[in-house]
Each structure stands twice: as C-alpha cells, then as structure tokens.
Structure 1
C-alpha cells in the first residue's frame, strides 16, 4: 500500500492510497489515474482515504478502480464516482460437467451467441415498458423471479443485496433513459462485456473450492454486463444536474467531472434514487442473461447434466449506504466490488463462515480468478477489491497494435473458441490492452483484501 499524504497538494482532505506491486507502479503512473485519485481526496465529506485498487486506470473524474466514502448525511455523492455503466458486474455459474471437448464448446458458444443479443444498441427478446419497467426499476431481480417465473428464490440468496437496491424511484429516471434501456434487458452490450465458458484450472484453497463446487476441471460460465444504455443515460442526466447544483451549495472541485452534491440534498437524493433504479436494471439484466445461459445448457446437455448453479452475482460501479467503524457512509465503488469477510451480515448466510466470493476476470486469452473477501478488507479498503485486470492501453492504441483477425486466429490456436461479430471490437479488447491479471490478483491476495480460491481458464468466449 502506497500513500500520498495530505501535504502533497493544497485542498486534500484525506490521503490517497494505492494498492500496487512495485512492478506495477510504472504502468500506474503512465496516465492521469493518480492525479484523479488525488482530486477525489478534495470531495466534501470524504473520510479515511481515496483508495485505488491494483487495476486502477484513468476514467471519467474518478479513476476506474477507485473507492471513496463520504460521511452521511451531508457528505457528497458524485456520479463520476459510480460511472456511466451503473452496476456493471459479474455473475458466475457452475456446472457438474468437466473438460468438454472442443466440438461441445463450439456448440455451446455458438448457441450462446445466437441466444444472447450482443453489440451496441442491440435490443433483446424481452421488452418491458410503463408500469412493468417501473416495477423492475424499483424491485430488481426479485420481480423477475416472483412475477415472471424467471430463476428461483434460491438465486436471490446469491445475488449481492438480494438483487435489489432499496431506495430506487422510477420517477427519478428520465424518459430518454427509458427509451434507451426499455428493450435492452437480457442483452450483453459491447466493449469489455462478455460471456465466457471456462474450466477450473488451478485450486489455491481446496476447502473453499469444495464449498463453492469449483472442483478441478469443472465447467463454469462467467457473465459480465451492466445497465446498458439505461444506466449510461442516468449518469449523463445527473452529471449535468450536479454541475449546476455545485454552485448552489458552494462546492468547488478541481475537475468538473467530479460534479457532486450533498447526499442529503434534493439533487443528491434524486440521483441516488435514479442510480439505485439503474443498479436494479443491471441486476435484472444479468439475471435474464443467466436464465438464457441455463436454457442453452439444458438444451445441450439435458435437464440434469445441464443444470447451472449460481455461485454469486456482484456489481461494480455503485454507491451504497454502509456502516464502517460506526459511521454511516456513502461508499462509491467505481470499477471496484465489495469484498466482505465472514463477519459481515451483508453477505449470503451460506458464505458467512468463509467470506463473500470475489471475481476478478481476465480478458479472453487470460485467466479469471475467484477469491473470497476478508474481514481485513473492511479495515483496509472499505471492504473493496478490484473488478478486473484494468486497461493499460486505450482502445485506439490496441487497434493499432493488434488486428482482430490475427487475434482471432491466435485465440483459436490456443483452443479458445471465440465469437465476436466485429474484428475491430475484438482488437479493442485484446489481452495485451490489459494489465497482467495474475499480478493484479497477487496484490489483492498479498494485501489481505481477498484470498485466492481458484483460477479459471477460458475455453470459449462471446464478446459484446
């Protein structure tokens, strides 16, 4: 853990702290992420420190991989500290099947691509409008289970916050957000979103791996998607509103992208209500995608063999009201996830003796990791861990260095079945564009934020 003290720059209210390996420092300092983290320390009401996870890189206002908590009721809430893809997150499903041959993987990946719409602006087979959409925005994944028979009550036990953030208000959402997102539930999106078929490649903690059903060779599916155009529009709407609100509350920030308002203010409360609605959209989106993935496996392998059990669904890009050290806080996690330990009452009862599952995905040709949160994380990082490897190369730079066609051939030669309709988007998400996920995970493990359980190796990928 590296710390930048408040003496570094005028206006800092708390230190800036970064979790990083010595080898990772040059990449960390190659963009403006550290400057952005220092800017975050100036926010009114911030407590403890502005924290950067080992995947941290430059973002909008806040760095991606940034964590910051403000003291309620009057500490600020900032849309830039949550991001545009509100409640982008990951869901891990595990099967009882082991080490399928390539022809089976090709069948599964082909069916997944046909069954889950992907790409910018793509709509899905479900269309929710009017009161039906409002109910999902305010009630999240439980509405899909209880009103539409999609998934099960057991699933809800293994989604962060039960698949719903309390405090959502559909009336705080603009008509434009509804138009952009109403028909996008159950869709993958574009960019770094993916469906990945994997096998358990290495076990680090046998006891926990057994508990989770992550046995060597076992086949899993990792879903990565968020709130699509709906969440993007919510963020867009409220960045503008917050920019105007700062003048009314006498707030001055070093970067307008940090636009914010007191959490207790009308503007803060309205944004929080809209953000919670977008988060519920994100939970519901992954729940519908998971439902389709299960259907593909049942059709391919039969009802019994094709069963997929949900291990956990966890979001990043949210702000949540939590208690830490006896204080009621608004915890911003942008490109960061919860990593709560065994003593937390906010994780499923079935995990309270081991800690919450934490997922750190790689990028197509690299491994993904399953970890478990620790009680140490509550004191060290506001119970937070990183959400991936983190970009080290812009999308434009990646396209100059790698061609999609060459990357496709390389991945296929390594036994990874890849489906992406655009070679250009494939190049943008090349493994070389991301930091070394093994190093990033080692930092999380060595810092005691979360403990490694298993490594997952990709065998088939559908990219957005």
Structure 2
C-alpha cells in the first residue's frame, strides 16, 4: 500500500496552486470549457463509456469561454489533471459492507473489493470565476432591489444579463471540473498499472459514477402538481435521481443514480442510490458529505504536538500529503461521523445505502 500510494502521489499532482503535466494553450482551454470530459476522452484520457457513467455526460451545453476572465483562464491553464488542496483527495478504499445487493450488483460492487474515490473540482479557474462574479452580483443585487443578508448570497434575476453571463461561466467551470476528474482517473489507472504490473482492464478498473457537488443546473421538477423548469443549485449537496430517470445510464436506470458520499480519511465513505422521495421532497438531492465539526484553525490547534499520519497508520491507513498543515486541518475528528449523517438521509428516504467503503491509502493536497 505504501508503494502504491507513493506512485499515486507522484502521478497526480496535489497541493495549493500545483501545476499539472497538461500545459493548455488558450485555445485548448476554451475548447475544454465547452466540451468538459468529452475533451479529455477525445485526447485518450478514458473511453466513451466513462461519459455514459458521468452526470450530464460530463458536459453542460452552453458554456461561454468569453464569460470567463483572463485571470481565471490563466489560473486554469496549468491545473488540469491536478488534485488541489483542502478537503480534496484521492483515496484507495475497500468495500467493507453491502446494504443493498441488487444495487451493488448493478454498480459492480462487492464485499472486499478495492475501490478508488476522487474528490476534486475546477481548481483555481472555478475559484476565480466565483470571485469575479461575486462583485458583479453585488452590484446587480442593488440594481434589481434585492436585499442581501450576507454579501455572499448576492443574486440577480435568472434572465438578467448578469445572471446569464455568470451561468455561462459557471458551466465552463463545471466542464473544467469534469475534465479534471476524467484526466485524474486516467492518471490513477496508469499508476495502478505501473505499480501492480497489470493493465487497467486486467485489474478491473472502471468508472462507477462521477457526480458533481457544487453546481447550478436547470432541471424539471414537480412543484404543486405542475412540472416546472427550475434552477437547482447544489452546494454541499449532490444529485440523487430516482430509478427510471431519463438522465441515468441505461445500466443503472432500473436501480437509480449512484450517490457518492465521501467521509473523512480515518472512518468511511458511502455509495447510496437516489430515490423517488428525493425527487418529491428535495428536488432529487441529498447530502454531499459529513460536514465539519471544527474550523480549519481549530483543527490545527487541536492537532498540535500530534503525528496525525502515524495515528492514521496505526489504524491501517497510509497517507501522503503535499501541505504541512493539511493533515491537521483534515484530521478525522475535524468532521462529523459520516455514518451518522448517511443514516439520517437513509432513514429520511432521500437516498438509500448501498455500500460502505473504508480507507486504506490517501493522497491529500
């Protein structure tokens, strides 16, 4: 495990502001913003089947690169195929428990199986898009008479020029994130292949699902007995569409959408499935993760004098990180117990437990 984690750490760049192996020209980057994961697959990073197993096929149509600032493009041109920092991770896990055999079989999961979970997004490009448009939206809120209780809730009417321009830029950032995870998945498969001396196919490496957790999308949902087009913004939330939904891969349509809930690096993560109750009550949404119990500052203070990496190693978890303070910020007790959180959404019926995944090896930024 230590060797494998080392190969992954050297194969997938991580850390604040890290540059990747893909140096994009501005033309490449603009094309990527329009195509998302398709851009990556066209260049040999994965297969068409990956797109089928990715939310929205890995691309939201209508992204306008012209709506993305030069500063955002500059930040993004060297960060494609990089993990980033903070709570982003690449984690080797094993399936410790199966709760729903039928769903697990459909997703190709079985007890004792090795899995890999990748959690990252649109890197500096997406962060810059947000920074750029917060200023725009603050002005727009005044213009349209919207009272703000918190400036970070700045908003504009959806059909206004400001909102439409932001929405086009956000689509580009979402597409960048899908491409990024697609490239990292390919890098991960190659790292496994090098470390274990077998091809990804021989190792049984394939994508189960890729789902976003910070994104706004136009979707159709029933409100008051009428089906309407709504802008659904999932922040700290993730999609949980029920079986039969037309957007799901055909192989999963009889079961429902795979829902990925990452936990902390010392306890567990989960795979769930979407439900009809979620469609009726939460616009097809569920939680994204456990949520923090401690601020990053408080976690660093609580970890003073401790060797978090050794504590994890004693639990059987090998970890490598680029940032000196990352392990302290991200130590397990800084987060709620994901099992408790998942039990709540399971009991509420807005997503149903399929499998529990326990960590073995972790790469952090």
TM band (smaller chain)? over 0.9
Corresponding residue of 2:237: 336
Kept after mapping to 1: 8 A contact 2:243/2:275 = yes
The one of 319, 336, 349 aligned to 1:435: 336
Corresponding residue of 1:323: 220
Q: Which has the higher strand share?
A: 1
Q: Does 1:420 align with 2:321?
A: yes
Q: Please, which runs of 5 or more residues in structure 2 have no aligned partner?
A: none
CA separation of 1:361/1:253 partners in 2, compared to 1, >3 Å: closer, same or farther? Answer: same
Corresponding residue of 2:260: 359
The one of 358, 366, 369 aligned to 2:270: 369
Aligned length: 359
Kept after mapping to 1: 8 A contact 2:122/2:177 = yes
The one of 208, 222, 234 aligned to 2:117: 222
Kept after mapping to 1: 8 A contact 2:35/2:59 = yes
Distance 1:452 1:151 in 2: 28
Corresponding residue of 1:71: none
Distance 2:134 2:231 in 1: 18
Following superposition, the deviation at residue 343 of structure 1 comes to: 2.4
Q: Does 1:186 align with 2:87?
A: no
In the TM superposition, what are the counterparts of 1:6-405 in structure 2 within 5 Å? 105-146=1-42, 148-301=43-196, 302-303=198-199, 304-325=201-222, 326-403=227-304, 405=306
Distance 1:391 1:294 in 2: 30
Following superposition, the deviation at residue 405 of structure 1 comes to: 4.9
- Give the structure-1-normalised TM-score: 0.76
Kept after mapping to 2: 8 A contact 1:404/1:425 = no
| Aligned-residue RMSD, C-alpha | 1.1
Kept after mapping to 2: 8 A contact 1:404/1:426 = no
Q: Does 1:451 align with 2:348?
A: no
Kept after mapping to 2: 8 A contact 1:199/1:459 = yes
- Give the structure-2-normalised TM-score: 0.96
Kept after mapping to 2: 8 A contact 1:116/1:186 = yes
3-state DSSP of counterpart to 2:119? strand
Regions of 4+ moved over 6 Å: none
3-state DSSP of counterpart to 1:418? strand
Q: Please, which runs of 5 or more residues in structure 1 have no aligned partner?
A: 1-104
Kept after mapping to 2: 8 A contact 1:324/1:382 = yes
Following superposition, the deviation at residue 403 of structure 1 comes to: 3.7
